[in-house]
Amino acid sequence: MINFLIRRGFVIGTAAFLALGAAGAIAQQAQQPAAAGEAEISIQSFQFVPAILTVKAGTAVTWVNHDEEPHNVVSPNRVFRSKAIDGGEKFTTVFDKPGTYDYLCAVHPHMRGKIIVE
Amino acid sequence: MDTQNPDNHGTSRRGLLKCMAWAGTGMVWTVAGGVPRGLGLGEAFAATAADGFTFVQISDSHIGFNKEANPDTNGTLQAAIERITKLPKQPAMVLHTGDVTHLSKPEEFDTAAQLLKAVKQDIHYVPGEHDVIGDDGKQFFERFAPKLKTGGWYSFDQGGVHFVGMVNVLTFETAKAGGFGAEQLEWLEKDLKGRTDSTPIVVFTHVPMWPIYPQWGWATEDAPQALSYLKRFGSVTVLNGHIHQIVQKVEGNVSYQTAFSTAFPQPKAGEGPAPGPMKVPADKLRSVLGIREIDIVPPKSAAVTDVSLA
Concatenated DSSP letters for B237-276? Answer: EEEE-SSSS-EEEEETTEEEEE---SS---PPTTSSSS-S
Which one is predicted more confidently, B197 or B172? B197
DSSP letters spanning B208-231: -SS-SBGGGTBSBTTHHHHHHHHT
**How would residue B51 be classed by pLDDT, with cut points 50, 70 and 90?**
low
Instruction: Please judge whether A107 and B174 are an interchain contact, meaning their C-beta atoms are less than 8 angstroms apart.
Output: no
Question: Nearest residue of B to residue A67 by CA position?
Answer: B276
Which of B135, B176, B273 lies at the smallest CB-CB distance from A109? Answer: B176
**Residue B145 identity:** A
Span A17-31, average pLDDT? 40
Pick from A72, A103, A111 the residue to mutate for testing the B interface (most B CBs within 10 Å): A72
The Cα B238–Cα B250 span in angstroms is 10
- Say which residues have a Cβ less than 8 Å from residue B282's Cβ, sequence separation at least 6: none
Instruction: Please judge whether B134 and A76 are an interchain contact, meaning their C-beta atoms are less than 8 angstroms apart.
Output: no
Interface membership of B67 toward A (CB under 8 Å): yes
Q: Mean pLDDT check: name the lowest of B29-38, B108-117, B137-146, B205-214.
A: B29-38
Closest CA to A39 of A101, A85, A93: A93
pLDDT of B187: 97
Position A110 pLDDT exceeds 90: no
**All domains of chain B in start order, with CATH:** 53-308 (3.60.21.10)
- DSSP code of A33? P
* Number of residues that this document lists for chain B: 310
Position B32 pLDDT exceeds 80: no
Interface membership of B134 toward A (CB under 8 Å): yes
- Say which residues have a Cβ less than 8 Å from residue B95's Cβ, sequence separation at least 6: B55, B56, B57, B58, B123, B124, B125, B126, B163, B165, B204, B239
- Say which residues have a Cβ less than 8 Å from residue A96's Cβ, sequence separation at least 6: A57, A58
Shortest distance, CA A38 to any CA of chain B (angstroms): 23
Span B110-118, average pLDDT? 97
Residues in B closer than 8 angstroms to A108, CB to CB, are: 216-217, 274-275
Position A47 pLDDT exceeds 80: yes
Instruction: Please judge whether A107 and B129 are an interchain contact, meaning their C-beta atoms are less than 8 angstroms apart.
Output: yes
Closest CA to B165 of B154, B150, B149, B157: B154
The Cα B10–Cα B12 span in angstroms is 6
Question: Nearest residue of B to residue A80 by CA position?
Answer: B134
Q: How far is CA A107 from the centre of its chain?
A: 20
Position B294 pLDDT exceeds 80: yes
Q: Which residues on adjacent β-strands are paired with residue A47?
A: A44
- pTM of this prediction? 0.80
Residues 135-194 of B with CB under 8 A from A: 135, 172-177
**All domains of chain A in start order, with CATH:** 1-32 (no CATH), 34-117 (2.60.40.420)
**Residue B287 identity:** S
Shortest distance, CA A8 to any CA of chain B (angstroms): 31
- Cβ-based interface (< 8 Å): residues of A facing B: 45-46, 67-70, 72, 74, 76, 81-84, 86-87, 104, 106-110
Closest CA to B304 of B89, B21, B3, B96: B21
Shortest distance, CA A2 to any CA of chain B (angstroms): 23
**How would residue B217 be classed by pLDDT, with cut points 50, 70 and 90?**
confident
Which of B67, B132, B173 lies at the smallest CB-CB distance from A104? Answer: B173
Which of B134, B172, B217 lies at the smallest CB-CB distance from A83? Answer: B134
Three-state SS at B80: helix
Phi and psi angles of residue B217, each rounded to the nearest 5 degrees, phi first: 75, 20
Position A18 pLDDT exceeds 70: no
Span B41-55, average pLDDT? 52
Instruction: Please judge whether A108 and B274 are an interchain contact, meaning their C-beta atoms are less than 8 angstroms apart.
Output: yes
Span B147-167, average pLDDT? 90
